[in-house]
Structure formats: C-alpha cells, structure tokens
Amino acid sequence: MQLVKIHCFMLLAVWLATSVAVIATPPDSGRAVVIWISIDGVRPDYLDRAETPAFDRLRAEGAWSSGLAPVFPSLTFPNHASQATGVLPGQHGIVMNSFYDRAAGREFNFPGHPRLLQAEPIWITAERQGRRTAVFDWVHSYGEYAGTTPAYHADHFRGALSDRERLQLVLDAWQLDTGSDQPLQLLMGYMMTPDAVGHQYGPDSPEIDETMAQADAELGVFLDEAITLFDERRDPHDQLYVLVTSDHGMSEVHTVVNPYLLSGLSREEADSSAAELVTSGNVAQLYLLEADDAATRRAWADTIVERVREFDFADVYHRADLPARWGYEHAERTGDVVIVLHTGYTFNRGAHRVHMPREDINAHLGMHGYDVVDNPEMNGIWVAWRYPQTWGGIEIGPTHSLQLHATIADWLGIEPAPAALQDPIRWGEATR
C-alpha cells in the first residue's frame, strides 16, 4: 500500500505542477454550510457547447477546473467512492460498477450498500466530527457505516426519479431540519441524466447539448432555492460553499468486443463455479476460482493473457502486474486477469465475433472507463462557489479526484479521514 501511495503522490505532483495559485482572502470566522452536487458523466467541453447560465455564473464568481482527473477505471461507482473517501479503488474496494467478491462468494452489480465500502466517506468523516449531513443517491450512502449514519439519507437508489426530484430531496431535508441545535452543514446530491444520454447518443451529439442546457436550468433553480434557505438561517459570518463535480468524461464508441471470444473463456466456464467474468465498460475481470493451486491458476491465467495479447486493441494484466499508479489491486475483488480495452472499444456480450463495428449491433455510442493518462476525454470538471463572499472567477489547473474529500473537510473545518489523501485543492494561501 505504501508503494501505491508513493506512485499516487507522484502522479498528483505532475497534475498539480501546472495549477494556478491565486490568493483568496478568508472571510471572518463563521459556520460553513457545504453543498456538493455530482453530475454524472460531464466532460469539460460540454459546458462550452451548451447554454449554461448557472454554470457560467458559478465559474465567473467562483473557482473551477476543466481537468479533474478520475481514478482508474473511470467508471461511476469507483470514482464516486474515491471522490468521497480520498483513496484509490484497491483500498476502498469498489473496483468496478460490478465485481466479484471472493470472500462473499458472489457478484455485486451496481452495489449501493455501505457495508461494501472499505474506506470512510466524507459524510461519515463529517458526522464523526460533529457536522450533521444529508446525503442522497451517492453510492454507498444508504445507511450506517462503521456505526455512524448520516442525519438524512435514502434507503436505496430509485432510478425512476428525475434529476430535479433528486435535487429536491436535498432541499426537503434542509427545509425540514428545524428540530436540532446543530444545523446541517454538509448536503450532497446527485444528477445522472448527462451520463445516460452520453451513453445512448454519444458525447458529441446534439442530445448532449440539450441535456446539459436542461441540467444547468435544474441546477440554477436548485441554487436559487438553496440560497434562499441559507439566507433564512444563517448568522452574519456564515458562508455557503457549493461544489459541483463530475466523476468522469465520455468517449465515442466505434467497436464492440465479445469478452468470451477475446479471452478464450467459454460461456459455460464463466457461468459455472470454475470462473467468473465481469465487465464494466471497457474493463473485464476474470476470476479463476476452481484452480487447484496457485501454479494451476497462474497457468490458466497465462493462457488467457497470451490469447488476449494477440489483439492490439487491448491491454491485459495478471493481478500482480497491474500498473502501481492505478492502486487497483484488491485481494478479494480484483480479478486474476484484468483486460482493458483501448479508447473507442467497449465490451458487449452480444457481439458474435471477437470484435465488430458498433453500427452492426445495438450498443452504446459513448463509453468511459479508460485511463485518463491515455485518454484525456475521461477528465471531469469541478466548479466551486462561495456565498455571500465570492472568489471572483479563478481557473485552476489540473487537479485530482482524490483531493475532493480533503477539500470538503477543509471547508467544514474538520480533519480528513486518516486514510484519505490529505491535500485539499487550494487556490492560494486560503480558500475558506
């Protein structure tokens, strides 16, 4: 783990070396109320293509970056977990949107329960230190973690809700929270539509521009109502902090790949107790479960690796040989073999050849999951805004998703979780 952290810090140093340092004068001491909204799948260029007056205001009055690097793989569940915890997937354990757990002996698909998260998320960090929280539809926020529970949370994810309804959950909790001497100080919400539209129509489609305009309008209404609630309740020196982030970007898909035909693992083997094959986007993990010993398992893995290396559009790794900077090796949840497709390729079990044009099959037109070092389109965005004292419009250079946990902790005036990356995003001597 120490080696992983060293590589992580080295990579962060490269990103942060070009960051802009601007002095931000801190306000007089007062209570901080922090709102963090995640908008799934927003690529930085989306904001320049659509009519986004709410985002324009936040950027003009706040601070922002168009280079928020995701962890690998740049998928929704691992990145929301890393943003919330400040650690890499091999440490928090959410290695893909779906994964197999050897200890549990089962596969988890889009798992939301907190018991699967193996690192402390920011809402628990805040609650432990006396900052009450309301968190809705962040992965792994649906209840107790290590004996601590958010003051307000959903019991499960409801896919039928609109983004406007999801944001309203946050406002409703804040509005109803009148019976405590300690007010809510961290409120978190989630919007999902841009990601879904990017998958369906592709990131360069006019549908994305329309979706971003709609998302911006919903965000604008939410902000107006949040400011009203804050003004009704604040003391003279209190400050409202708003952070809007995306978890990853999106790339066009041109080719689909059948994971069984690529790996040489038959459906019968994968559907039996001998092995498990799990895919999310462009990443496949093969868990070889019934090899008699380590040597037999290694030999089977070697056969698969040699097979995949015949194709120039995929990288393949034994678990022990994964790039250290990914911090991706988990004893129970990372496969014995990990296959990563190059940009423009995605897995599709319905493909009837090893690989075939996307147009020949009903498949996603957009995908993410790729390594941001190889594919900058995986970068996300963040925009920070403070009220009533603003920052004045500061563009920040490259930043990393692991910094967000510590940034929120900094605004709340608390310590980050012990395992989290301890470096908040700063634009000058102080951001509070």
Strand, helix or coil at 21? coil
Buried b or exposed e, range 54-91, using 16+ CB within 10 angstroms: bbebbbebbbbbbbbbbbbbbbbbbbbbbbbbbbbbbb
- Mean per-residue pLDDT, 237-243: 97
Kindly indicate the confidence band of residue 432, based on its pLDDT and cuts at 50, 70 and 90: low
Q: How confident is the model at residue 23 (pLDDT cuts 50, 70, 90)?
A: very low
Can you state the percent helix, strand and coil of the chain, rounding each to 5? 35, 20, 45
Greatest CA separation found in the chain? 68
Q: Are 206 and 197 in contact (CB under 8 A)?
A: no
Residue 269 scores a pLDDT above 90: no
pLDDT at 290: 77
Task: List the 275-280 sheet strands across, edge first.
Answer: 275-280, 283-288, 337-341, 314-318
394 pLDDT more than 60: yes
Non-local (6+) Cβ contacts of 246 within 8 A are: 38, 39, 40, 41, 42, 43, 68, 194, 380, 381, 382
- Evaluated on CA atoms 23, 133, 382, 404, the torsion sign reads positive
CA distance 261 to 137: 36
Eight-state DSSP code of residue 326:
G
Return the closest-CA partner of residue 41 out of 187, 221, 197, 207: 197
Each residue's pLDDT tens digit, 85-141: 999 999 999 999 999 999 999 999 998 889 999 999 999 999 999 999 999 999 999
Q: Which amino acid is at 219?
A: L
pLDDT band at 428 (very low <50, low <70, confident <90, very high): low
Query: DSSP label at 242?
Result: E
Strand 255-257 and strand 283-288: pairing? unpaired
Is pLDDT at 74 greater than 50 in this prediction?
Answer: yes
Residues 127-155 as b or e (16 or more Cβ within 10 Å = b): beeebbbbbbbbbbbbeebeeebbbbbbe
Does residue 248 have a pLDDT over 50? yes
Task: Round to whole Å and give the CA distance between 166 and 24.
Answer: 32
Residues 6+ apart with CB under 8 A from 147: none
Q: What single letter denotes the amino acid at residue 420?
A: A
Of the given ranges (13-17, 147-151, 231-235), which has the lowest mean pLDDT? 13-17
327-377 pLDDT, tens digit per residue, is: 999 999 999 999 999 999 999 999 999 999 999 998 999 999 999 999 999
Return d(Cα 234, Cα 181) in angstroms, integer. Answer: 13
Per-residue confidence (pLDDT) for residue 7, from 0 to 100: 44
Q: Is the dihedral of CA 351, 356, 362, 366 positive or negative?
A: positive
Task: Name residue 36's beta-bridge partners.
Answer: 188, 243
Per-residue tokens: 201: 């129509």
Predicted confidence at residue 28, as pLDDT, reads 53
Amino acid at 296: T
Where does 258-357 sit in CATH, by number? 3.30.1360.180
185 neighbors 31 (Cβ within 8 angstroms): yes
Quick check: bond before 388 cis, omega within 30? yes
Query: What residue ranges do the domains of the chain occupy?
Result: 32-251+375-412, 258-357
Mean pLDDT of 45-73: 97
- With contact defined as beta carbons under 8 Å apart, do 272 and 304 qualify? no
Bridge-based pairing of strands 63-69 and 380-387 is antiparallel
pLDDT of residue 211: 98
Q: Is 431 a residue whose pLDDT tops 50?
A: yes
Per-residue pLDDT at 47 exceeds 60? yes
| Residue that the structure tokens 């990288």 belong to | 315
- pLDDT, average across residues 259-263: 96
The CATH architecture to which 32-251+375-412 belongs is: 3-Layer(aba) Sandwich (3.40)
Contact 372, 298 (CB under 8 A): no
The answer to whether 352 and 239 have CB atoms below 8 angstroms apart is no
Give residue 24's pLDDT. 38
237: which 2 tokens? 């020196």
Reading the block at residue 17, the tokens are 């070396």
